[in-house]
Amino acid sequence: MTTETTQDPATAGSNALLAKWDGPYGGVPPFDKMEIAGLKPALEAGMERSLAEIDEIAKSTEPPTFENTIAAMERSGRDLDRVFTFWGVWSSNLSTPEFREIQGEMAPRLAEYRSKITQNTELFARVKAVYEGDEKASLRPDQQRLIWLVYDGFAHNGAALEGEAKERYAAINQRLAQLHTTFSNNVLADEEGYVQYLTKDQLGGLPPSFVQAAAAAASDRGREGEYAITNTRSSMDPFLTFSDERELREQVWRTYYSRGDNGDEHDNNAVIVEILQLRDERVKLLGYKGYAEWRLENRMAKTPENAYEVMNAVWPAAVARAKEEVADMQTVADAEGAGIQIEPWDYRFYAEKARKAKYDLDSDEVKQYLRLDKLREAMFFVAGELFNFQFTPVAEGSVPVFHPDVKVWEVTDRTSGDHVGLWYLDPYARPGKKSGAWATTYRSHETFDGVRTVLGSNNSNFIKGAPGEPVLMSWDDAETFFHEFGHALHYFSSNVEYPTLNSGVRDYTEFQSQLLEHWLLTDEVINRYLVHHETGEPMPADLVEKIKRAAKFNQGFATTEYLASALVDMKYHTTDPSDLDPRAFERTALAELDMPREIVMRHRSTHFGHVFSGEGYSAGYYGYLWSDVLTADAAEAFEEAPGGFYDKDMARKLVDHLFSVQNSVDPADAYRAFRGRDAQIEALMRDRGFPVE
Ligand SMILES: [Zn+2]
């Protein structure tokens, strides 16, 4: 069923999704009035208005200036932005079949709308004139950076091309979009097409919950009474960890790591070659030496050499640690009289045995100290100490919410009492809500046309307890809760003038949130907030110690399997692809790295979706390590400070240089201003328990 509604802007004007926000706190989204029937007309009217605004800027007869071009663009698209706030809530928090139908219909139209702006040659000519003009030198650094970001958004994506080159560029993009889809469909086909069915006598070692899920998966496939091991990570990983059937482990392992590499109609080897060749051709049209140079230019790492430097520095330590882990596991296997040499399909199985012997953490015991409401208070405490923010619940009903579970707090400056924004928390799982945890904004900070305060939100999937019962969570969930709150604090700290300056830099935006996770294990938080939900006693020191030690467990394996993929990704994108065979390429690359024979790449080439199903992480898989280095190094800055993690001077630097500036300063400069130097890789080594020379 589709909702047929008129596109008449007059009608759309009465649409709550499109209306200007009123009410307290500089206006709040009318979540109590959102109706799905209004979505399509609101999107249509929003796009129409936005394009009209862009057209006015592009067709202006005035000479191009910062104010009439760049600032005017920052001002455009406001109506559509508001509709997207509701779109985001439907998509993530309240999805329904009706919404997904509209989403399917509107997604291509939104893509078309966006390319109407990025391919607007008159608009780009004006942006380019401002970028190259004399006025720029007289502007503030943040305004100059804004000009560069806007210009680069066009130029980096081919807007400066003309004639044949422009046509070829567009053709390449179209073909790449097809190939990326083919790649992921092939992986999916191999995930769905290979299922291992087990009988009751083949379940040795598997936990009951896994057996139950495998039985359900088999019966879904019409194989009642059997047990299905599907060809996905969530099935493979626990199977290899727990199954004591060694031959089956090998079979499951081989099937999983052969995805996309079976020489059949779903084989991805040829797809990879064509993708790499087209990417190379496309960036050469733009005048770049190779794909990785193009990709990293506007990342914090800036060049492939910088990314390689970090990866190559960590690699030997990761491999050395993996060898120790293998030796430990071999000891366990020998003691059992297993009579085997550790193979890749034994790694998880014996690692689990080693873990149990060395670091056994009772997750249920840990949980007793992790109460949702106490952790929320802990986050508010940290926000107060570091950011000088105060969180106060708003009166029930004073701010509209889209579900009764959603609660709202006002964020103010603890000293001045000034209003900073509103924090929305949607903590519980429910049908129609996507899984996992995330943070987002309904409105971002800016000041250039008057102050807009932040509306930030955190979203989780905790299971609601019975009335009066506390909600307890796992250690991983507690870390994630802090992590996502770190994103929210990043939004609330913004002091930038223009909306675009709130945008993220891919290898940098997870850093702030990862850093905040470190406050969970500070004594102040442990003693006041990680308290037993019945006795009120703080988490005992030996349990805290166990948690810290467990974090360093199996880092050789985890780092090696990840880094092998990151290095091969970068190698693909810094190699001439004209005569390339992925199988041989991967084999040679790993041999050159001296990859331990017991470990395989986390994602082998033929199923490396991060890199070949799209371009989000192509020549960018290194980014996880990059932000881990920053995180570890920044955490050490606090450890070394006189006041530790609550040092006032460090906290001020944190806010001034790492949080408030967002993307108005080059991240590398911002980090140097915070630390007095670049981040050092050794901090990451220590964090993972690797030896440091
Ligand atoms: Zn994050």
Which pLDDT tens digit goes with each residue over 269-312? 999 999 999 999 999 999 999 999 999 999 999 999 999 999 99
Backbone angles phi, psi at 604, to 5 degrees: -70, 160
CA of 553 to the centre of ligand 1 (A): 22
**Cβ neighbour number for residue 12 with a 10 Å cutoff:** 24
Cα end-to-end distance, the chain, whole Å: 65
CA of 437 from ligand 1 middle (Å) equals 9
- pLDDT score for 300: 95
* pLDDT bucket at 658, cuts 50 / 70 / 90: very high
- Span from the CA of 405 to the centroid of ligand 1 (angstroms): 23
Phi/psi of residue 187, each to 5°? -65, -45
Of 95-109, 246-260, 646-660, the range with the lowest mean pLDDT is 95-109
Amino acid 111: pLDDT: 84
Predicted confidence band at 332 (pLDDT cuts at 50, 70, 90)?
very high
DSSP string of 413-481, one letter each residue: ETTT--EEEEEEEEEE--TTSPSS-EEEEEE--B-BTB-B-EEEEEEEEEPPPSTTPPPB--HHHHHHH
pLDDT at 14: 66
Percentage above 70 pLDDT, the chain: 98
> What's the whole-number average pLDDT of the chain?
94
600 close to 586: Cβ distance less than 8 angstroms: no
The answer to whether 595 and 644 have CB atoms below 8 angstroms apart is: no
Which position among 484, 497, 517, 598 bears the catalytic label?
484
pLDDT over 90 at 436, yes or no: no
Whole-number Å distance, alpha carbon 476 to ligand 1 midpoint, is: 14
CA of 659 to the centre of ligand 1 (A): 14
Task: Look at residue 468 in the predicted model and tell me its pLDDT.
Answer: 85
Q: pTM of the entire structure?
A: 0.91
C-alpha to C-alpha distances, 553 to 68, 436, 514, 637, nearest whole angstrom:
56, 24, 19, 24
Distance CA 35, CA 555 (A): 48
Polymer length in residues for the chain: 693
> Mean pLDDT: which of 27-31, 231-235, 504-508 is highest?
27-31
Q: Give the pLDDT of residue 691.
A: 85
Say how many Å lie between the CA of residue 122 and the centre of ligand 1: 37
What would the two tokens of residue 303 be?
């060049």
φ, ψ at 63 (rounded to 5°) = -65, 140
Secondary structure element (H or E) that encloses residue 191, with its range? helix 163-193
- Distance from Cα 485 to the centre of ligand 1, integer Å: 9
- If you average pLDDT over residues 622-650, what whole number do you get? 97
Q: For 546-561, how does the pLDDT look when each residue is reduced to its tens digit (9 = 90+)? A: 999 888 899 999 999 9
Identify the CA nearest to 422 among candidates 403, 406, 405.
406
The CA 438 to ligand 1 mean position distance, Å, reads: 7
State yes or no: pLDDT of 5 exceeds 80. no
3-class DSSP state of 425: strand
Gap from CA of 62 to ligand 1 centroid (Å)? 43
d(CA 618, CA 221): 35
| DSSP helix/strand/coil, 194 | coil
pLDDT tens digit sequence for 48-106: 999 999 999 999 999 999 999 999 999 999 999 999 999 999 999 999 999 999 998 99
Residue 206, CA distances (Å) to 165, 203, 245, 300 in order: 57, 6, 10, 44
**Of 1, 75, 90, residue with least CA distance to 43:** 90
Percent of the chain with pLDDT over 90: 88
Cα(596) to centroid of ligand 1, in Å? 31
Tell me the three state secondary structure of residue 514. helix
CA distance 127 to 112: 21
Question: Residue 617 Cα, ligand 1 centroid: separation in angstroms?
Answer: 15
Question: How many angstroms is it from 45 CA to the middle of ligand 1?
Answer: 33
Q: Computed from CA positions of residues 364, 368, 372, 374, in that sequence, does the dihedral angle turn out positive or negative?
A: negative
379 CA distance to ligand 1 centroid (A)? Answer: 16
Q: Give me the mean pLDDT over the 463-486 stretch.
A: 92
**Ligand 1 center to 439 CA (angstroms):** 8
Give the contacts of 689 (CB within 8 A, at least 6 positions apart): 321, 552, 555
Between the CA atoms of 113, 74, 503 and 452, what dihedral angle is there, to the nearest 10 degrees?
Answer: -120
Q: Each residue of 238-247: pLDDT tens digit?
A: 999 999 999 9
Question: What is the distance between the alpha carbons of residues 654 and 79, in angstroms, rounded to a whole number?
Answer: 34
Distance 108 CA to ligand 1 centre (A): 27
| Centroid of ligand 1 to alpha carbon of 487 (angstroms) | 7
Confidence of residue 10 (pLDDT cuts 50, 70, 90): very low
The 3-state DSSP class for residue 540 equals coil
Distance 92 CA to ligand 1 centre (A): 16
The pLDDT of residue 176 is above 60: yes
550 C-alpha to ligand 1 centroid (Å): 22
Model pLDDT, residue 1 = 36
pLDDT in tens, 482-534: 999 999 999 999 999 999 999 988 889 899 999 999 999 999 999 999 999 99
Average pLDDT over every residue of 329-343: 95
570-594 pLDDT per residue, tens: 999 999 999 999 999 999 999 999 9
Active site residue 534: no
Question: Across residues 332-355, what is the average pLDDT?
Answer: 94
Q: What is the 505 CA–ligand 1 centroid distance (Å)?
A: 13
C-alpha to C-alpha distance for 23 and 615, rounded to whole angstroms: 41
Q: Is the dihedral of CA 426, 431, 433, 435 positive or negative?
A: positive
Distance 506 CA to ligand 1 centre (A): 11
pLDDT of residue 217: 92
Q: Which long-range contacts (CB under 8 A, 24 or more apart) does 145-148 make?
A: 145/501, 145/663, 145/664, 145/665, 145/666, 146/70, 146/74, 146/498, 146/500, 146/501, 146/664, 147/66, 147/70
Cα(4) to centroid of ligand 1, in Å? 38
The rounded Å distance from CA 514 to ligand 1 centre is: 7
CA dist., res. 679 & res. 629, Å (int): 7
- The predicted model gives 635-661 an average pLDDT of 98
